[in-house]
Structure 1
Amino acid sequence: MPVGFFVTGTDTGIGKTTVSCALLHAFAAEGHTVVGMKPVAAGCENGIWPDVEHLQAASNIRMPQALINPYAFEEPIAPHIAAQQTGVDINPQTIQQACQNLMAVADVTIVEGVGGFKVPLSASDTVTRRYDTGDLASLLGLPVILVAGIRLGWLNHTLLTVQAIQSGGLTLAGWVANTMDPAILQLEANIQTLAEWLDCPPLGVLPYQAQPDAQQLARRIDLSRLR
């Protein structure tokens, strides 16, 4: 039966794409067909959207760009502002349909969110209801994998994000500890604390890499721990 997961993070620039790609490689190594999806991308570099490119490279089936990335904006700014400036409405139903189309083909679909869990997606002057990435995750109905960026303050950020995930009625399928600060003190004690507070172990603890190698990091992901 096809499955999907929604990957979110404790902040922007926290390694969601790296972890999403590592998950794709890990599932592919078990013999599954996999595809990555980036519903909303903001930030174009030389005519490409890096997150989308990385997800496509980590997927082992090819799907139309319009399904993988329904909304792409050139400026690296908040998506609802980028949408407003370009006269585009980010339609959750469009994303939902694209996700369903991908899941109909792939064994595993990894949907990477944008920014943190509560990043606004709607422009308040164009819609009657505000919605954010958390609302999108709820609409898609996928269990959530949280990327917790290990740096000063990460315990608080992670627990607040988990609270937001659970208050939305979503399932926390697992979390990945991604080392952002190589000089972080008491790393193991911090991870143990979070594992106790979340009542579940991390799917993996990723070491700091200046140039992350998702295929290599996939070996550190334990899919058997997924809820």
Structure 2
Amino acid sequence: MNYFVTGTDTDSGKTLISSAILCKRLRTSPKHNTLGLKPIASGCEKTAEGLRNSDALNLISQSSIKLDYQFINPFSFLPAIAPHIAAEQTEIDISPAEVLAQLKLSLQSAELASKDTCLIEGAGGWRLPLGEGKFLSEVVAALDLPVILVVGVKLGCLNHAVLTQESILGDGLKVAGWVANIVEPDTACLEENLASLSALMHAPCLGVVPYLQDASAENAADFLELEHVFFDD
């Protein structure tokens, strides 16, 4: 099954939670394959093999299906700026049609079975601009993907979570589940905020990940409960 992972904002912890979900799936269902894709990424580093993105590399580390890097992260940009601005500067087409075509190539190359898990991680939030008034959410809608929402728990997250949920549902898509990721070590009124999230969200909570000194996929996976989304034989 394919899912799209989005967040309430840029630093909500999409990669940590995506990697943790893949890690948990490998632990609990080793007979089913996993794959993480990061179609668009800025803030990449130059390497001997070309531009590489740390988020994409983290997803690769938790994926049992191994593809060439260009299938994992087909659109990579060096500066840590909005991808549509970086694309304009480098004259690279990241229109919804082009992103959709590249994603379809990646999915075809993976040859996923129905019980396999593929997570497609977005960049930024739900309405990531692709330029010319287009958004990455249009690609998700074209693929009709269920969405997993990562809520970066901090001041303002309730508003961001509700607005993102409304936007996803307004696009005719399903919120398959949400994860509360505590991004600040001393979050005020934490339990009250979590209770409010539970009341405001219209999808199952897949886990509450505390602030982690060692924010690894393996550690975060311990706090996830995926049974509401993933069902195995």
Structure 1 length-normalised TM: 0.91
How many residues in Structure 1 have an aligned counterpart in Structure 2? 219
What is the identity percentage for the equivalent residue pairs of Structure 1 and Structure 2? Answer: 39
Aligned pairs for 1:20-99 within 5 A: 20-29=18-27, 30-31=29-30, 32-47=32-47, 48-90=52-94, 91-99=98-106
Write the distance in 2 (CA, Å) between the matches of 1:76 and 1:216: 27
Write the distance in 2 (CA, Å) between the matches of 1:33 and 1:5: 14
Q: Is the 8 A contact 1:103 1:109 kept in 2?
A: no
Residue 141 of structure 2 is aligned with which of 138, 144, 163? 138
Gaps in structure 2 of 5+ consecutive residues: none
Aligned pairs for 1:1-227 within 5 A: 3-29=1-27, 30-31=29-30, 32-47=32-47, 48-90=52-94, 91-101=98-108, 104-105=111-112, 107-122=116-131, 124=132, 130-226=133-229
Q: Is the 8 A contact 1:67 1:101 kept in 2?
A: no
Shift of 1:87: 0.6
Once superposed, which parts of structure 1, at least 4 consecutive aligned residues long, lie more than 6 Å away?
Answer: none
Gaps in structure 1 of 5+ consecutive residues: 125-129
The one-letter amino acid paired with 1:115 is G
Write the distance in 2 (CA, Å) between the matches of 1:145 and 1:169: 14
Write the distance in 1 (CA, Å) between the matches of 2:203 and 2:195: 10
Write the distance in 2 (CA, Å) between the matches of 1:211 and 1:83: 33
Note the alpha carbon deviations across 1:121-165, whole angstroms, 9 max, x for none.
13x2xxxxx321211211222100000000001000100000111
The one-letter amino acid paired with 1:100 is L
Pick the structure with more strand per residue.
2
CA RMSD of aligned residues (A): 1.6
Note the alpha carbon deviations across 1:92-127, whole angstroms, 9 max, x for none.
3323313432552361111000001101013x2xxx
